[in-house]
Amino acid sequence: MRTQIVVGNWKMNNSISESIALAEAVAAGIADIPLNCEAGIAPAFPALGQVASAISRSPLQLAAQNCHFEDNGAYTGEVSTSMLKSAGCSWVILGHSERRQYFGEDNQVVNRKVKKALAAGLKVILCVGETLEERESGVTETIVNTQVREGLQGVDDVSRLVIAYEPVWAIGTGKTASKEQAEEVHASIRATLSELYGSQTAEGIRIQYGGSVKPSNASELFAMPNIDGGLIGGASLKPEDFIAILTACK
């Protein structure tokens, strides 16, 4: 049985003080709730250290939203895996569609980051997903599984890997893939993982859904056989909504 995992991706939101307040509110809200999932939050880089302190006595884990594929050097504006670990991170989100769309990250760049993060001992959430045009063209599974294959090229140990399926057309739009649509892609991803790593390993890899998950639809999404929790955007910025999504885990 796979333990579901829910992580809040705060993106480029909140000052340091606002991030601390949000983290403390979530931690307090789940203090007396038995969680059926792993739970994490991913603040912006400047707030990582302070948020780590704020959640140190809670079950919340700290994630970063990105990292660089080199250990150090003349890479102005970038952040290394060692910096993330020193700030208290145990997770890093890689290959998010916004990184691909706005910052030109292709599958090869994402692959380098995945390998660097895993080698550094971090746990990785690898994001994959199709655009609306790709879905309407009927190439969703081709696009998504190519992102999986190329993102994991040369990766042998996937014990610290989570895949997040996020249809680009459903991120921040209020649109959500139906539970059947999401399950279909999740099952396809698991089949690809089975080809790459064998069925037993593939059955143990968790695949999250992301794309306008909210309290009203979390339970039905998380109840699907191949959906193992969620990568939550906008709803994770509201403590009551994020806590409600956490409690929707099966």
Q: What are φ and ψ of residue 132, in 5° steps?
A: -65, -40
Name 61's bridge partners: 40
pLDDT band at 173 (very low <50, low <70, confident <90, very high): confident
Q: Is 15 annotated as a binding residue?
A: no
Q: Is 77 annotated as a binding residue?
A: no
Q: What are φ and ψ of residue 162, in 5° steps?
A: -125, 140
Catalytic residues: 96, 166
The CATH number assigned to the domain holding 229 equals 3.20.20.70
- The tally of domains found in the chain comes to 1
Q: Is 85 annotated as a binding residue?
A: no
Structural contact between residues 84 and 126, judged by C-beta atoms closer than 8 angstroms? no
Cα three-residue angle 245-248-249, rounded to 5 degrees:
110
Residue 130, pLDDT above cutoff 80: yes
Residue 212, pLDDT above cutoff 90: no
CA distance 104 to 211: 21
| Nearest CA-CA partner of 4 in 193, 242, 226, 233 | 226
Q: Is 9 annotated as a binding residue?
A: yes
pLDDT the model gives residue 81: 98
pLDDT the model gives residue 175: 76
Q: Which helix (H) or strand (E) holds 27?
A: helix 16-29
> H helices within 44-178, ranges in order?
48-54, 81-86, 97-103, 107-119, 132-136, 140-151
What is the overall mean pLDDT for the chain?
Answer: 96
Question: Which is higher by pLDDT, 175 or 98?
Answer: 98
Tokens of 56: 């140190």
CA 55 to chain CA mean position, Å: 19
**Tens of pLDDT along 41-75?**
999 999 999 999 999 999 999 999 999 999 999 99
Q: Is 11 annotated as a binding residue?
A: yes
Structural contact between residues 135 and 105, judged by C-beta atoms closer than 8 angstroms? no
Write out the residue range of the structural domain in which residue 233 sits: 4-246
Residue 176, pLDDT above cutoff 80: no
Q: Is 104 annotated as a binding residue?
A: no
